[in-house]
Amino acid sequence: MALFDPISDLLQQATLGASARQAALANNVANADTPGYRRVDVDFHATMQKAIADGRTSDDPDLTFTPVADGTAATNADGGNVDPDTEMAELGENSLEYQALIAIQKTRMHILDTAIGRS
């Protein structure tokens, strides 16, 4: 019998995915003025949806969050495709999502603590 349910495992994985996306977006901002730099992103939502559809859990080693180059963004004069304003907006949105995931995990842990009489 597992200590945590599948939802807790999925929340943990989603938090890791949001963290990987935050790192990729921050790297984009840091390289916005680097000639020829191509932005990357981590689509952890799609990865999580596929994992849920396939019935996979956090124990699955194939559940990874890899930055992928984004070829859809418009190319700048220097050959790069990073728009700092867009990246900052994406960073803010992703940060809020990460904070929400953490808040949900904390609430679930508090419920568990209460159930076992620790609070």
pLDDT at 59 over 80: no
Write the pLDDT tens digit of every residue in 74-106: 899 999 999 999 999 999 999 999 999 999 999
Write the pLDDT tens digit of every residue in 29-57: 999 999 999 999 999 999 999 888 888 76
Domain membership flag for residue 50: yes
pLDDT at 61 over 90: no
pLDDT at 112 over 90: no
Domain membership flag for residue 29: yes
The total number of structural domains in the chain stands at 1
pLDDT at 24 over 50: yes
Domain membership flag for residue 75: yes
Domain membership flag for residue 82: yes
pTM of the model: 0.87
Domain membership flag for residue 1: no
Domain that holds residue 41: 6-115
pLDDT at 2 over 60: no
Q: How far apart are CA 108 and CA 94, in angstroms?
A: 21
